[in-house]
A and B are shown apart, each in its own frame.
Chain A
């Protein structure tokens, strides 16, 4: 029991790393999502297709395989990455691919009549996008982006497998040291992830109802 209590500060530290990795990946994913999503909503189909192929690749490849490729594979090709950077890179590529669909979907759902009205008023294409379409589309993007953050937090647990000392890896190390505390330690980890992700998914659902 003492050993479990001793494990708690390190678990809290691990949770901090989980947040650091998740929030960094989320910021980058939002950036990637906006750039690709806006571009995809504006370009002709011939230019859109190769972008779509790349997005489908990052949506189709399992996150763990992508993470291992970046952490173990890329150094052989001359790109060395630390474990935290590799975890964040894999997470933001995966989540960015999903995010670009969120942004594109929201923009397309707003376009149509709004764009026609704005161009009738003499707004340029950039003005239409920046002043009319995107501000309205933001409301529709918010709930799925909050949901995406919950997915990132959940998926960040995979970074423990490339030795990022996140919550799960810290738990693993503590159990390696004293096998008898496996039950309380892993139970704590389950509850901690739930305590973080349940409120996030509640917020996402509430927003969806309110902004629908």
Chain B
């Protein structure tokens, strides 16, 4: 078990990197998608809704497989779209968790009281200023708990990247088991690492919620 530690630590660093880029990517998808869902263009609304529903209702593991194994088979352009495993895996997480973020942020925007929008319009704010200064700050506060849960869910889903051969902490564990077979304690160790990380993330988001709570 002690011999396995350096290899697990190495994998853990990769897990953190994938989680970091995954969270940033999913947040970007969420913001852009939610902006499209409330835009005045019908085409943008329909496209964003279709994206949300499709990627939210399909398993992230299947999305990762699709990006890694099916996209390169598209006739003509496919061979140019062969992604490195780690990129395909991270992108799959971004698509799934990003779609959930769109839904969370859209619901957050919808939950801002109508009076706020009316007041912003009465003050003569442009649509952009209304969103930027009035609606988005409140929507983000409302959405914070759900966004936090989604970050945690993405963090746990980083284990899926091992399924296409990326050596994150879980992939490294599998690799060790393939050579020396001590799976029970190894998986328990990896599991405990995740449980601790998830507890820390949970505490971080509860602190953020308290910090940004609206005065009541």
Contacts and interface: CB of A to CB of B under 8 A. Distances in A.
B163 A186 contact: no
A187 B70 contact: yes
Interface in A157-204: 157-158, 160-161, 168, 171-172, 175, 179-180, 182-183, 185-187, 189-190, 193-194, 197-198, 201
Range of interface residues on A (Cβ < 8 Å): 35 or more
Interface stretch (A8-16, A23-31, A60-68): A60-68
Contacts of A187: 66, 70
Nearest to A191: B58
B44 interface: no
Interface in A119-151: 150
B215 interface: no
A71 to B, nearest CB: 9
Contacts of B162: 64
Given A68-B187, A76-B183, A155 B59 contact: yes
B73 A150 contact: no
Nearest to A157: B59
Interface string B169-199: 0100010010000111111101100110011
Contact of A161 (B156, B163, B182, B188): B163
Nearest to B160: A64
Contacts of B57: 150, 154, 193-194, 197-198, 201
A68 B69 contact: no
Contacts of B65: 168, 171-172, 186, 189
B156 A183 contact: no
Nearest to A156: B59
B212 interface: no
B90 interface: no
A73 B187 contact: yes
Nearest to B169: A65
Given A56-B199, A193-B57, A64 B170 contact: yes
Contacts of A194: 54, 57-58
Contacts of B74: 183
A154 B184 contact: no
Nearest to A66: B191
Interface of B: 53-54, 56-63, 65-66, 69-74, 78, 156-160, 162-163, 170, 174, 177, 182-188, 190-191, 194-195, 198-199
7 contacts: A60-B156, A62-B157, A62-B191, A182-B69, A189-B66, A194-B54, A197-B58
Interface of A: 56-57, 59-66, 68-69, 72-74, 76-77, 150, 154-155, 157-158, 160-161, 168, 171-172, 175, 179-180, 182-183, 185-187, 189-190, 193-194, 197-198, 201
